[in-house]
Amino acid sequence: MTISTTLWSFALVVGLLTLTPGLDTALVLRTAALGRRRRAWGVVLGIQTGIFVWGALTSLGVTALLTASQVAYEILRWAGAVYLLWMGARMLIDAWRGMRADGADEAPSLKEAETLYEGWRQGALTNLLNPKVGVFYVAILPQFIPAGAPHFTTGLLLTCVHILLGLLWSMALIAFAQALRGWLQRPAARRALDRVTGTVIAGFGLKLALGD
């Protein structure tokens, strides 16, 4: 298998994964739809940072510990579950209290800072605390590294393909959310968005906690 064939084959697999609605899509859409464009791009960059870290660790063979050590996997799984449940619950509480109707009325503990860094931190934590991403890379990435090719370099190259596709898809999501921004700025619509996104994120956290 040539490197060109490898890249196209891997791009097809991760491209389908990227287009599948999931936690990352919900988080990016919700942030962008609320008019937080800078924070939304922070979330995108955070998610892609997480993917790069998982790809690099897999290329080094480190993430194999997740499949070899049940303790390591369980620690990361529960950390991720708690974080997602907390984030989802926070959105749901915020929505039910109607705090999105007027940003000036938001409680300090629930208010989200409109900064690139805060978005990056949220996106990175969401990705890095999900052990299933690491397991996916352990299972998939080595299969696309041709025999005789430098393992680490090729692994990083494939990871960058995944990141590029993720950035392109995120660009489309943010543009779509921005197009609906006027409608979503209404207090009722914003609360509904938080309810839906909070439920989705909490659902992912519960699923992770249950080990499904």
pLDDT, position 98: 62
How many domains does the chain divide into? 1
Q: What is the DSSP string of 169-184?
A: HHHHHHHHHHHTHHHH
- pTM of the model as a whole: 0.79
Structure tokens at 81: 């579950």
Helix orientation angle between 116-128 and 70-96, rounded to the nearest 10 degrees: 140
Residue with tokens 């529960």: 78
pLDDT in tens, 4-38: 788 889 999 999 888 887 888 889 988 888 778 89
Alpha-carbon distance of 209 to 80, in angstroms, equals 8
Each residue's pLDDT tens digit, 134-192: 888 888 888 888 888 888 999 999 999 999 999 999 999 999 888 777 776 677 777 77
- For residue 94, give the nearest of 201, 193, 207, 174 by alpha carbon: 193
DSSP assignment, residue 186? S
Residue range(s) defining the domain that contains residue 35: 3-210
